[in-house]
Amino acid sequence: MIKKSFKITIMVLSILFLASIFLTGCEKKGRSGRESDQLFGQGMENIQLADFFSLHGWITLHLEMEPDSHTRTGATAGPMSFRMPYQGRYKKYGASIRAQISMDLNNMIMSGTSAPPPIIPEMEKVERYLVSEQEYFQQLDGAWYMTRHDPSHALLGMNYGIFPTDVLRIMELPDKVEALEDAEGYARYQLTLGERYYQAMEEEAKAIFKGEKWQAKQQELANLKALLPGLSFLVYVDKESEVIGKVEFRFGGDLSKLIGPQMPEVFQGMNFEMEGVFTFDFLKAFEIELPRAAKEAKPW
């Protein structure tokens, strides 16, 4: 009887031991999931605290051409794409923030066409600067101009690059953040932009444009709102350093949403897709200085 009782006791203890292992495993798995969810927030906090960072990558514009477009533009009929090298820089100078965009179009890769359409910048290199809220840019004739930066135009003006400050605004204003992948060295998140981002951009535009200019801005804001549901924006956060390492984006639609009412007739009815990949660098230091000619910029 004693032996039988002893065996039952051993069996019960074994079951309890296995159950404790199972429950401990579930608890660890639960903690890991919560840590993964919190990683995006930590990555955002770290990038907001950073004194400087740079972005490197490319922006690609895909166009679906009309069958007879080659007879009017000289371009090959059918799909064509333009892959443009991109570099962005961001740095704090006390209470002021400076940013820079550089796109070397001499190294642009084109396919499906012999010549880029007017939507692609005609200069060999796009160089734009942001000093606080003031934007400086160069035109094809070499002259420099300055204007109040308009964050609401960031996505619609992606063919001329995007300031790192505007990339930050996108990551700060999602309606939803969804964890898609919990890999060994990183976590991947899908950001959904909607009403929150749109309302922030509308307020930015209201502060810049008045009177007739504000009325003219309404269509562009409507175009922005129409593009947001189709925007895919992925963020990769490194687990060890807890910093954002890469972003990927893609959006598209009717080309008129990108160009606006001044779109040439040859592009009527065409569709576009804009995509890109930017990697972050928080280690290499740099300065952002306006070119000498930009310091004499004229108001736009």
Cβ-contact 121, 139 below 8 angstroms = no
pLDDT greater than 60 at residue 123: yes
Distance (Å) of CA 285 to CA 45, 53, 90: 20, 8, 10
d(CA 131, CA 165): 11
In a domain, 267, yes or no: yes
Which residue, chain included where needed, has tokens 């950073």? Answer: 50
In a domain, 10, yes or no: no
pLDDT at 59: 98
The pLDDT tens digits of the residues spanning 92-116 come to 999 999 999 999 999 999 998 777 8
Q: Among residues 266, 206, 204, 202, which one has the least CA distance to residue 228?
A: 202
What is the span of the domain harbouring residue 149? Answer: 35-299
The pLDDT tens digits of the residues spanning 248-268 come to 999 999 888 887 767 777 677
CA torsion angle 167 168 172 176 (round to 10)? 30
pLDDT at 23: 38
d(CA 232, CA 251): 6
Identify the band that residue 30 occupies on the pLDDT scale cut at 50, 70 and 90. very low
In a domain, 266, yes or no: yes
Identify the band that residue 66 occupies on the pLDDT scale cut at 50, 70 and 90. low
Buried b (16+ CB within 10 A) or exposed e, 96-106: ebbbbbebebe
pLDDT at 2: 42
Alpha carbons within 13 A on the beta-carbon side of 83: 9
pLDDT greater than 90 at residue 206: yes
Cβ-contact 187, 181 below 8 angstroms = yes
Q: What is the CATH number of the domain that holds 72?
A: 2.50.20
- Residue 299 has a CB neighbour count (10 Å cut-off) of 7
In a domain, 276, yes or no: yes
User: What DSSP designation does 131 have?
Assistant: E
pLDDT at 24: 40
The number of domains in the chain is: 1
Q: What are 52's strand-pairing partners?
A: 91
In a domain, 6, yes or no: no
pTM, 2 dp: 0.84
